[in-house]
Structure 1
Amino acid sequence: MGHADFITNAEELIVRTGTRGAEQQLLVTYADPELLGFAWSTLPLADNVDTLEAAIRFTPGVDPGPLLDALRALRPVVAVRHPAGLDLSAHGFTLAQAEVAGALRLPVTVPAPGNHPDYVFHSWRGPVPEAHQSGLAGLKETMSTDMPWGGQAHEREAWDAQRIREAGDAARRAGRETLWTVAVHEASGDYAGYTQLSCPTSRPDLAFQEDTLVVGAHRGHGLGMALKSANLLQLGREMPQVRTVYTWNAEDNRHMLDINRRLGVTPSGIFECWQAG
């Protein structure tokens, strides 16, 4: 990738374990004492229980087959992500989706969220306030099916207030600050959309764009740009030391890629998702 910004240290990995929603496993392949490759795997426990998702990396030239076979022994459906250029078709995997990684270099002039008289925006840093937990859980459920999945197999996820709290606890144990913005439709009280930024405290110059969603019934009002703008403005106030925000979007998600371009995001690489089963 040409940089080390995507490295996740051991402490950050370990504290992701112990949640109700998923089991984490780290598999490695090596020729003692040299590490040749690894897979950091997520095995959902509450939904998508036939699926394993993993980030994989290999030293150039290493045969990925043994590690991929070990992953396929764990779950019937295996989806792995790797920077573009690793062809896994000979190992029974099919290219399911390509994702564009982008970088926003700060400081940058962020447009104001604009006038949206039918909606109220709420922004905060840290744990999700109790008043927003159920509404955000509903948005997370919608996100699990509405985001572009390409050819990947993915079922609807079940979210509730407890899962929201558990996810927040895991993020704090991992040393990550989270910044949120939600949009609420004032007349109905419906949660129309949300966005979140994740900021590792061990790398204070970095932030990572996580989910952004606008519910279908509320699209067409510019809420996607407004949500992201409001959260970036909050980032500037709360964590002015951040110098780069990284984001990932499906290559066919042209609407969100256009929003990112208008905000100043520039492409920084391509990741591919390969699936077997």
Structure 2
Amino acid sequence: MTEATIEQLRIPESLDGELAHDFLQAVEVSRQVRIHTWGNDKLAYTAEEFFAQCHDPYEWNVVLVARSGGDIVGRAGIVMPLDDNTELAHVTLDVLPSVSGMGLGRKLLEAAEMFVRGENRKIAMVETNHPAATLADAKSEPIPASQGTGTLPLSSREARFAYSAGYDLERVEQFSACALPLDPALVAELTEHAAATHKSSYAVHQWLDTCPEKWEQDFVRLERDLVDGKDGDAQEPWDVAQLRETEELSALTGRRTLVSAAENLETGALVGFTSISVLGNREDVAFQDDTVVELAHKGKDVGLLIKVANMEQLMREFPRAGTIFTWNAPENSYMLSVNAQLGYVSAGMTGQWRKDFNAL
């Protein structure tokens, strides 16, 4: 391989014409990496989805590419929030399997770190992916996450890469997949089980893409509680205006969102919700997003009730969906048990790694 060079990719104004060639080639590199990692391209962005992401008004997306002999063989995607957490930068590395092991990943990471530090970002986050098969025989010393109970083995090539680059393992999440459609008998059984536990104290309300005005204040309150609880970081207040802006942005990208929420019939307030997203240009794959239930209503299978209902909504609205993916903290035993009842199977782990430049 000729000596690779690193350069910033110009984001085209459209996906048509010669100016989009390099952008499409970078998207294809990412797709090939995910095929190599997971055995399929179900977790790969389509060109349309990635193009929309690059024009998100709430974050600045920069792409660095490694070029060899005129061809793009690797890329570093940099996402920098523009609203909250403006000290952060998220870096995604993709290097073609055919040139793996030649130092391109390290070279791309160093270039990405130089870029984000130049933009006065204090913290870089890097994600590593670990299929279940690669962890089955891991025997080396485990690296414990600073948050939660997860670990990753130092024998993992990806973990060793991040660790040797000076990153600390912040958290680990279990990555799971569920085949669709669900057996109607299973859906009925789980719904009945949840109803028996909570004694019909809740009603389920559903919507697609747009939260009904009746529920917007409750939904925002639940979203705010969810966001405030993540990582213990202070967040800007989440309000109805931001909710509507987010919904409009999703509509522009073509992403669809399905929500099922639980109303406490005694108070008339929403006490929990769960959401699923479907990519605008790929209806065969869905993603389980956030699930939140207020503390006072936990232990009553409210989470099971709304997750089963939302899976039914997904199968009804998007019958082509053949797989749904989700990520959960290993210590979240209740949600993992709910997912197991629904038919989710562990596919691997993902690691979130953090480097604080102030500490260097």
Q: How far off its partner does 1:13 sit? A: 2.3
**Within 5 Å, which residues of 2 pair with 1:234-249?**
234-249=313-328
Q: Distance in 1 between matches of 2:331 and 2:73?
A: 33
Q: 1:94 to 1:244 in 2, by over 3 A?
A: same
Matching of residue 132 in structure 1 with residue 215 in structure 2: yes
Alignment check: 8 A CA contact 2:46 2:281 kept: no
Q: How far off its partner does 1:242 sit? A: 1.0
Q: 1:43 to 1:188 in 2, by over 3 A?
A: farther
**Which structure's residues are more often helix, by fraction?**
2
Alignment check: 8 A CA contact 1:141 1:157 kept: no
Q: Distance in 1 between matches of 2:233 and 2:127?
A: 15
Matching of residue 105 in structure 1 with residue 182 in structure 2: no
> Which region of structure 1 is more displaced relative to structure 2, 22-31 or 108-117?
108-117
> What secondary structure does 1:155 align onto?
coil
Gaps of 5+ in 1: none
Of the three residues 296, 318, 321, the one matched with 1:217 is 296
> What secondary structure does 1:112 align onto?
helix
Matching of residue 40 in structure 1 with residue 77 in structure 2: yes
Match of 1:30 in 2: 66
Q: How far off its partner does 1:172 sit? A: 1.8
Q: Distance in 1 between matches of 2:326 and 2:226?
A: 16
Q: Distance in 2 between matches of 1:164 and 1:28?
A: 31
Q: 1:187 to 1:157 in 2, by over 3 A?
A: farther
Q: Distance in 2 between matches of 1:55 and 1:132?
A: 36
Match of 2:205 in 1: 122
Q: Which amino acid aligns with 1:104?
A: C
Q: 1:130 to 1:96 in 2, by over 3 A?
A: same
Alignment check: 8 A CA contact 1:79 1:276 kept: yes
Bigger relative contact order, structure 1 or 2 (CA pairs below 8 A, ≥6 apart): 1
Q: Which amino acid aligns with 2:327?
A: W
Alignment check: 8 A CA contact 1:13 1:174 kept: no
Q: Which amino acid aligns with 2:65?
A: T
Q: How far off its partner does 1:19 sit? A: 5.4
**Which structure's residues are more often strand, by fraction?**
1
Match of 1:273 in 2: 352
Q: Which amino acid aligns with 2:77?
A: W
Of the three residues 242, 245, 250, the one matched with 1:166 is 245
Q: Distance in 2 between matches of 1:157 and 1:219?
A: 27
Cα offsets for 1:31-53 (capped at 9, x unmatched): 24333433433333332222223
Of the three residues 138, 141, 163, the one matched with 1:89 is 163
Q: Which has the larger radius of gyration?
A: 2
Alignment check: 8 A CA contact 1:26 1:38 kept: no
Matching of residue 258 in structure 1 with residue 337 in structure 2: yes
Q: 1:72 to 1:225 in 2, by over 3 A?
A: farther
Alignment check: 8 A CA contact 1:193 1:214 kept: yes
RMSD over aligned CA atoms reads 2.2
Alignment check: 8 A CA contact 1:47 1:158 kept: no
Cα offsets for 1:82-117 (capped at 9, x unmatched): 213423123221011111111110122223263243
Q: 1:55 to 1:82 in 2, by over 3 A?
A: same
Q: Distance in 1 between matches of 2:77 and 2:223?
A: 23
Matching of residue 77 in structure 1 with residue 123 in structure 2: yes
> What secondary structure does 2:268 align onto?
coil
- How high is the sequence identity, in percent, across the aligned residues? 28
Cα offsets for 1:182-223 (capped at 9, x unmatched): 112223333211111111232221111111111222211111
Q: Which amino acid aligns with 2:220?
A: A
Report the TM-score, using the length of structure 1 for normalisation: 0.88
> What secondary structure does 2:215 align onto?
helix
Q: How far off its partner does 1:176 sit? A: 1.5
Alignment check: 8 A CA contact 1:179 1:235 kept: yes
Report the TM-score, using the length of structure 2 for normalisation: 0.69
Match of 1:181 in 2: 260
Gaps of 5+ in 2: 1-37, 131-156
Q: Which amino acid aligns with 1:210?
A: D
Q: How far off its partner does 1:268 sit? A: 1.5
Cα offsets for 1:54-102 (capped at 9, x unmatched): 4333343222333234334431122221213423123221011111111
Q: Which amino acid aligns with 1:221?
A: K
Match of 2:111 in 1: 66
Q: 1:72 to 1:192 in 2, by over 3 A?
A: farther
Q: 1:254 to 1:58 in 2, by over 3 A?
A: farther
